[in-house]
Amino acid sequence: MLPRFRRVVPHSSEEALVCWRELGGMFCAGGQALLMEMALGRRVPDVLVDLSELEPADVAARDGLVMVDSLSTLDSLELRPEVPPLLRAAARSVGFASIRSRATIVGNLCHGLPTGEMSLALVALQGAVHGVLPDGTATTKTEDSIFSLRPVGDRSELFIRSVSWPRPDASTNADFYEVGEQGSWQPALSVATMLTPLPDGAATVSAAVGLRDGGGTAHLEFALPADARAGHLRELVVGAIRVADGLDCGRLSDWVTDVVSARVAETRARPGGT
């Protein structure tokens, strides 16, 4: 059963900001995480600022940046050609179709799982999260601060409005993969990667890694020399494991190596795989 709370339903972003400033409480977007946490007694906000009546703005692409309304549902990203494959693949990995039809980008960012798909994809894309503080001051979060958007208490700390990222080069190769399952014997690990080829045959890699069950998150950037191109996925996995080691999960390395090597072999076996 849900605890008692007051619900306000603003009809514009400006109204939402005023409600939050005057009443406090937490924003509720799709409700797919927050209402469950409230039912379990993990959150007890006295006010919910329900954003479900706000219509997400269209995707905007200009000056080399793509900007998406943070209230866009995860399944709506499939219909947006401007949204890069990495973000769409990450969105597809969240829960089930029925969850994705209501869950939003911002809700996934603020739910705060280390394996949270939107956070990992956005960090790998070198993107940004844009919002305002209660006094209306604009704030932008980038890099590791994107991993820390979950509010500590029962009051939202930021009103997040949009996310943006540099439009990837057409030659960029992106992937999102998950191994393990929450709560099972296999620790859950998610990796979002962006590989950008350089003219000399080398490539740069931006990877975001999240590990649950006592793990954490990290952003990794490294260069792959030209002669490592053919084996780039393996290099990437080695890099991911190095990050996991840095997160004090070194004992998992053998297991991760086995599981991810199998995944690399699968990818290579697919038409067009490397």
Question: Which tokens belong to 187?
Answer: 């620790």
CB of 62 to ligand FAD, least distance (A): 23
Sketch the per residue contact string, 101 through 140, with ligand FAD: x for CB under 6 A, - otherwise. Answer: -xxx-xxx-xx-x--xx-----------------------
Q: Distance of CA 205 to CAs 25, 218, 262, Å?
A: 40, 14, 21
Question: Judged by CB, which is closer to ligand FAD: 160, or 191?
Answer: 160
Q: Specify the 3-state DSSP secondary structure of 201.
A: coil
Strands 159-166 and 173-179: unpaired
Cα dihedral sign, 139-217-189-268 = positive
Q: Which of residues 84-103 bind ligand FAD (CB under 6 A)?
A: 94-95, 99, 102-103
CB of 178 to ligand FAD, least distance (A): 8
CA-based angle 93:141:180, to the nearest 5?
A: 25
The residue type of 174 is: A
26 contacts ligand FAD (rule: CB under 6 A):
yes
The residue type of 273 is: G
Binders of ligand FAD: how many residues, by CB under 6 A? 31
Question: Which tokens belong to 113?
Answer: 């799982």
Sketch the per residue contact string, 235 through 264, with ligand FAD: x for CB under 6 A, - otherwise. Answer: ------------------------------
Q: Specify the 3-state DSSP secondary structure of 272.
A: coil
Name the segment binding ligand FAD (CB under 6 A); options: 153-161, 204-212, 238-246, 248-256: 153-161
Q: Which spans of this chain sit near ligand FAD (rule: CB under 6 A)?
A: 26-34, 36, 51, 70, 94-95, 99, 102-104, 106-108, 110-111, 113, 116-117, 151, 156, 158-160
